Amino acid sequence: MPEKFLIRINGTGFQAARGMTVAAAVLMAGVACFRRSVSGEPRAPLCGMGICMECRVTIDGVPHSRACQTLCAPGMEIRTDA
Amino acid sequence: MIETADVVIVGAGIVGACCAHLLQREGLRVLVVESGVIAGGATGSGMGHIVVMDDNPPEYALTLYSQQLWNRLLPELPAPVEYDACGTIWVAADEEEMRGVHSKFASYTMRGVRADILDSRQIAEAEPALREGLAGGLLVRDDSVIYAPCAASWFLQGASVRRARAVSVAAEGVRLDDGSMLACGAVVCAAGAKTAELFPQLDVRPRKGHLAITDRYPGFARHQLVELGYLKSAHGHTTESVAFNVQPRRTGQVLIGSSRQYGVDSTSIDRPLLRRMLQRAIEYMPRLATLSILRTWTGFRPSTPDNMPAIGLSPAHANVWFATGHEGLGITTSLGTAHLLVDLMAHRTPRIDASPFAPERLWRDA
Ligand SMILES: Cc1cc2nc3c(=O)[nH]c(=O)nc-3n(C[C@H](O)[C@H](O)[C@H](O)COP(=O)(O)OP(=O)(O)OC[C@H]3O[C@@H](n4cnc5c(N)ncnc54)[C@H](O)[C@@H]3O)c2cc1C
Ligand code: FES
């Protein structure tokens, strides 16, 4: 895997680095809302260690993937709730 | 001090709650006794599918009467009841089951129940997550889904609920575990799967079930989906069985059922049985295997030997009425049950024949 590569976050290109989690990339891209709760409240990473499930996003079409537990990979497509 | 009421109802599940609602509408003073929390029994652990079942005439009459009552009432219920008029699809795996679809269609349409036969292509279009190559199915349009605990709370609005356990019922009233006595004119026993703790003579036994709920995947399932073989599981009396029964929730979550088990009182998850249940569901909806499950739990259906509820006067008491034994249909039939019971208590002729539900048939020497 190259040191630096391109991924897409909500359709916009983002330069990610090897070893970077999806959670880090999404935050660095300036996206504050990862997902919406049932009642529509914005949610973002809380525990950072795979327990709280607050950081879920859609990664390569798979919904409810934990951003804090997934490493970025070249060409990855990430979708957050609006 | 002795508390008094016209009617004491034991049990604040959906059945007790519906009875309380209608008895209050008759102008009676009602007191509900509940040992746990409102809807904390089967009502809080079931699926909330409102469904017409046609496999024997009394059950057909009661479920249809109830479904029609629900459909009239549901638009009035508050949003947390999560009413969803999604309909049911009975799924036929092969040509033999497809013959079952045709006879079900005939029996439904004869009584004015709106139903459509789906062929192999139509069922695939209606439910893209079902496996390919199914023979077809029957869409029953007026079935629906609710979140039953919120419906029970709504029915209990304005009712007095006493947090205590009823320990005995006598001519003068109901004795509670704190020693106090509730004097009343009549008692309604709506104690669900725990009925036999109060009335060991009435043959109502707990029948355990497992459920699992996924995270939110909006659109994954669009109707309540039940395998046509479900009745074999529900009405057979084998000690253990599973059936494919999947329900879309308003939130986009998918509720997956279900299992049936006699003779178990532990609430804990039986992992091999849960696995069989999920495997059955995955056979019908292969992509279910990729969804994440948030929670699994169990509940106890109040079951009777002939799969029909006990609704009516006790054969051994002058003023004790039963509304219990609703097995896996009590969310559906609670409303019809309450109407029947209130009509019987008021000496009016009920809208459907109450005699098949008479508690006598379940009475035995304890
Ligand atoms: C897994 C599963 C799936 C189901 N799916 C469906 C479905 O899709 N559609 C459908 O129509 N039905 C379904 N059911 C069935 C339905 O949930 C039950 O038939 C229904 O909830 C029974 O309601 P109830 O009020 O009689 O009992 P419960 O809800 O159990 O209420 C009885 C209440 O009485 C209280 N109680 C008992 N004894 C005493 C006492 N001595 N003193 C004080 N309080 C007492 C209990 O604490 C309890 O709260 C399902 C059930 C299960 C388990
Ligand atoms: S931040 Fe808690 S699971 Fe990802």
Total domains, chain A: 1
In this structure, the answer to whether residues B183 and B313 fall within a common structural domain is yes
B187 and B90 together in one domain: no
- Min mean pLDDT across A62-76, B104-118, B219-233, B284-298 is at B219-233
Asked if residue B123 is part of any domain, the answer here is yes
What is the structure's pLDDT at B239? 83
Contact B287/A at CB under 8 A? no
Contact B92, B130 (CB under 8 A): no
pLDDT greater than 80 at residue B2: no
Answer whether residue B39 shows pLDDT above 80: yes
CATH number at residue B167: 3.50.50.60
Does residue B216 sit within a domain?
yes
Close Cβ partners of B115 (under 8 Å, ≥ 6 residues apart): B104, B105, B108, B109, B138, B139, B140, B141
* CATH number, position B220: 3.30.9.10
Residue B71 resides in a domain: no
Q: What does the pLDDT read at residue B74?
A: 86
Q: pLDDT band at B215, cuts 50/70/90?
A: very high
pLDDT band at B158 (very low <50, low <70, confident <90, very high): confident
Hey, are the CB atoms on A38 and B292 less than 8 Å from each other? no
Contact B217 A63 (CB under 8 A): yes
Distance from residue A60's CA to the centre of ligand 1 (Å): 42
- Domain shared by B185 and B292, yes or no: no
Kindly state whether residue B164 falls inside one of the protein's structural domains.
yes
Same structural domain for residues B219 and B139? yes
User: Which pLDDT score is estimated for B1?
Assistant: 55
pLDDT score of B4: 87
Span A3-25, pLDDT tens digits:
999 999 999 999 999 999 999 99
Q: Nearest CA of chain A to the CA of B170: how many Å?
A: 48
Residues of chain A in contact with residue B215, where contact means CB-CB under 8 angstroms, are: 56, 63-64
Structural domain that includes position B21: 2-46+148-201+306-362
List Cβ neighbours of B182 (8 Å cut-off, separation of 6 or more): B2, B3, B4, B5, B8, B31, B33, B162, B173, B174, B175, B176
Cα nearest neighbour of B80 on chain A: A39
In this model, does residue B82 exceed pLDDT 80?
A: yes
**One-letter-per-residue 3-state SS of chain B:** CCEEEEEEEECCCHHHHHHHHHHHHCCCCEEEEECCCCCCCHHHHCCCEECCCCCCHHHHHHHHHHHHHHHHHHHHCCHHHCCECCCEEEEECCHHHHHHHHHHHHHHHHCCCCEEEECHHHHHHHCCCCCCCCCEEEEECCCEECCHHHHHHHHCCCCEEEECCEEEEECCEEEECCCCEEEEEEEEECCHHHHHHHCCCECCEEEEEEEEEEEECCCCCCCEEEECCHHHHHHCCCCEEEEEEEEECCCCEEEEEEEEEECCCCCCCCHHHHHHHHHHHHHHCHHHHHCCEEEEEEEEEEECCCCCCEEEECCCCCCEEEEECCHHHHHHHHHHHHHHHHHHHCCCCCCCCCHHHCHHHHECCC
Residues B185 and B211 in one domain: no
Same-domain pairing of B215 and B275: yes
For residues B297 and B319, membership in a common domain is answered with no
Angle between helices B14-25 and B330-345 (to 10 degrees): 30
Q: Is B103 on the interface with A (CB under 8 A)?
A: no
Note the ligand closest to the C-alpha atom of A46: 2
Average pLDDT over every residue of B183-206: 97
Domain limits for position A32: 4-79
Residues B124 and B213 in one domain: yes
Is B36 among the domain residues?
A: yes
Mean pLDDT score of chain B:
95
Residues 208-237 (B) with a CB less than 8 A from some CB of A: 215-217
pLDDT-derived band at B366, boundaries 50, 70, 90:
low
Predicted pLDDT at B356 = 98
Which structure tokens are listed for B140? Answer: 């029953």
Would residue B177 count as lying in a domain? yes
Average pLDDT over residues B172-199: 96
Indicate whether B9 pLDDT > 60: yes
CATH of the domain at A35: 3.10.20.740
- Weakest mean pLDDT among B49-58, B232-241, B288-297: B232-241
The answer, yes or no, to whether any atom of ligand 1 lies below 6 A from the CB of B299, is yes
Query: Which residue from B minimizes the CA distance to A58?
Result: B217
- How far does B219 lie from chain A, in Å, by closest CA? 13
> Are the Cβ atoms of A64 and B290 closer than 8 angstroms?
no
Is B55 within a domain? no
Is B28 part of any domain? yes
Cα Rg of chain B (Å, integer): 20
From the CA of B300, the nearest ligand is 1
